[in-house]
């Protein structure tokens, strides 16, 4: 058993005991939405979106989509807590909510996204001084806090075969075999790609929450990165 394996929590397969991990000093800066998306490789799929500067631009982009949209501030963190995210928008609501969020947020940019329905997961990494990139997979979105003890943690590099083996029998496995025929291979591949990004990028950390898994893929919806 090596040093990394000795830190695995015996009660939660694949989970590190956070208090046992060396903690890096936080001298990082939070990236803007554009900086995050520009830093990710093209094979990490991000939900159909547009960075806009006005309610009119938001409405123009939304007109090209078939369903409702999500609008959020591009320059703030903790957007949900600050009421800077609005979902399920159609028609005149798009301009109204765009104007409200712009008036209440930092900066002058909005992200307009196609609204997806599916299973919400969290996929993240952080750079550790001793072990290198540490990858975390957990229930995401509104389930993040409720299921925080069910996160699974890996050391990069990670293969789809390893991820598949490690999630077997866990809460995440049960969620993926829920009411819909979720695209399991897509989320396994995304986790592998995020781990590869962690090894090659200059990012100190990246949190994708949620990743939405549907019957036909896995797409990143909200991103928070530091460097």
For residues 113 and 70, what is the distance between their CA atoms, to the nearest angstrom? 5
Domains of the chain: 5-31+117-226 (3.30.470.20), 48-114 (3.30.1490.20)
For residues 222 and 160, what is the distance between their CA atoms, to the nearest angstrom? 23
For residues 218 and 58, what is the distance between their CA atoms, to the nearest angstrom? 24
Per-residue pLDDT tens over the stretch 171-199: 999 999 977 889 999 999 999 999 999 99
For residues 110 and 113, what is the distance between their CA atoms, to the nearest angstrom? 10
**SS3 readout for 55-90:** HHHHHHHHCCCCCCEEEEECCCCCCCCCCCEEEEEC
For residues 107 and 76, what is the distance between their CA atoms, to the nearest angstrom? 8
- Per the CB < 8 A criterion, the answer to whether 211 and 122 are in contact is yes
User: Average pLDDT of 138-153?
Assistant: 80
Per-residue pLDDT tens over the stretch 80-129: 889 999 999 999 999 999 999 999 988 789 999 999 999 999 999 999 99
Q: What is the pTM of this model?
A: 0.84
The β-bridge partners of 86 are 71
CB atoms within 10 A of CB 108: 12
Above pLDDT 90, what percent of the chain?
Answer: 74
């Amino acid at each position: 058993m090596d040093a990394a394996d000795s830190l695995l929590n015996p009660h939660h397969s694949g989970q590190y005991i956070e208090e046992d991990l060396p903690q890096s000093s936080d001298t990082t800066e939070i990236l803007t939405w554009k900086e995050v998306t520009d830093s990710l490789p093209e094979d990490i799929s991000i939900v159909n979106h547009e960075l806009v500067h006005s309610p009119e631009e938001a409405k123009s982009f939304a007109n090209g989509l078939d369903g409702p949209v999500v609008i959020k501030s591009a320059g703030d963190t903790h957007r949900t807590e600050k009421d800077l995210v609005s979902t399920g928008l159609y028609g005149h609501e798009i301009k109204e909510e765009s104007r409200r969020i712009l008036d209440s947020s930092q900066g002058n940019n909005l992200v307009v996204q196609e609204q997806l329905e599916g299973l919400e997961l969290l996929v993240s990494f952080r750079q550790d001084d001793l072990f290198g990139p540490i990858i975390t997979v957990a229930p995401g979105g509104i389930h993040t806090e409720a299921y925080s003890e069910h996160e699974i943690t890996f050391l990069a590099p990670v293969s789809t075969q390893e991820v598949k083996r490690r999630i077997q029998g866990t809460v995440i496995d049960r969620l993926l075999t829920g009411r819909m025929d979720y695209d399991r291979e897509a989320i396994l591949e995304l986790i592998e790609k995020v781990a590869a990004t962690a090894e090659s990028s200059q990012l100190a950390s990246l949190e994708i929450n949620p990743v939405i898994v549907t019957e036909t893929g896995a797409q990143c919806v909200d991103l928070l990165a530091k460097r």
